[in-house]
Structure 1
């Protein structure tokens, strides 16, 4: 399953909807930054929903790695979230 890091920058009026959308699929690790493993189908769903959400001037960036084994995560400073979707 792909390991995904996704970030968004949307207008204030769409921020709450974007936050809810990304939290459904990924772990919220910092402000508008999310990460976790998704199936290819889940990734396609997330990208389609994000495309429907964004308007002019908004952006969503999705980094998809083949597996979690190919990423290394380093935090400098305070850990603001957890890469685990479980509390």
Structure 2
């Protein structure tokens, strides 16, 4: 399934969340990840995020669709995802 994750995490925890999500998805912009995950992988990602975040302060939004081939992305301005591919 195609997944987009957007997060608003306290700066004390944001580096850990960023590092964690990079293991599973493509970092496309500050606080935004996208990519293909299986149902089991998504379940694992959710579980890991819950351990890293404080649910009283932090927020994570997950968009998912089984129609990844019908997904359209348009970038206006700097494509930050291309910058991270150099790493």
Q: TM-score over 0.5 for the alignment?
A: yes
RMSD of aligned Cα (Å): 1.7
**TM (normalized to structure 2)?**
0.88
- Aligned counterpart, 2:41: 42
Q: For 1:10 and 1:72, locate their aligned partners in 2 and report how far apart those are by CA, in whole Å.
A: 27
Q: Which runs of 4+ in 1 moved over 2 A?
A: none
- Aligned counterpart, 2:53: 54
- Aligned counterpart, 2:65: 65
Secondary structure at the aligned position of 2:23 is classed as helix
Q: For 1:76 and 1:9, locate their aligned partners in 2 and report how far apart those are by CA, in whole Å.
A: 22
Q: For 2:70 and 2:63, locate their aligned partners in 1 and report how far apart those are by CA, in whole Å.
A: 12
Displacement of 1:79 in angstroms is: 0.4
Structure 2: runs of 5+ lacking an equivalent? none
What is the aligned length?
84
**TM (normalized to structure 1)?**
0.88
